[in-house]
Structures are given as C-alpha cells and as structure tokens.
Amino acid sequence: QTAAAIEFESFELNRERVVPPGQTVAVYVSGLSPGRYEFFDDFHQERRGALVVK
C-alpha cells in the first residue's frame, strides 16, 4: 500500500484513473491484441508496469 494517491495511466490502453491511498480500483480493457501494454503512475513516474496479453 501507499500513503499517497497514484494515477494509473497508459497511453497504449487509452486509460487514466486516480487511485486514492489504500484503495483498489478496476480498470476495464477488452478486445486487446496479443502484446505488451505499458502503464505507469503519472504522479510517481518511476513506478511502471506492463500488462502482457497472449
């Protein structure tokens, strides 16, 4: 958990969502082609990840 809000953002997925401290949110995506889709925390740019679709 983090004590600060984060902003889930992905240009490739065309998604952006603020996540309040200590909370969980759902980010819906569908119909993705196989590949790797990068995302990051816009408030803390060093926090990054990827969704891998097979």
CA distance 10 to 17: 9
> Can you give the pLDDT at residue 37?
98
Does the pLDDT of residue 1 top 90, yes or no? no
Q: How confident is the model at residue 2 (pLDDT cuts 50, 70, 90)?
A: low
pLDDT in tens, 3-49: 899 999 999 999 999 999 999 999 999 999 999 999 999 999 999 99
Whole-prediction pTM: 0.82
Tell me the residue type at 32: L
The answer for residues whose C-beta is within 8 angstroms of residue 24's C-beta and 6 or more apart is: none
> Can you give the pLDDT at residue 3?
84
Please give the DSSP secondary-structure letter assigned to residue 30. -
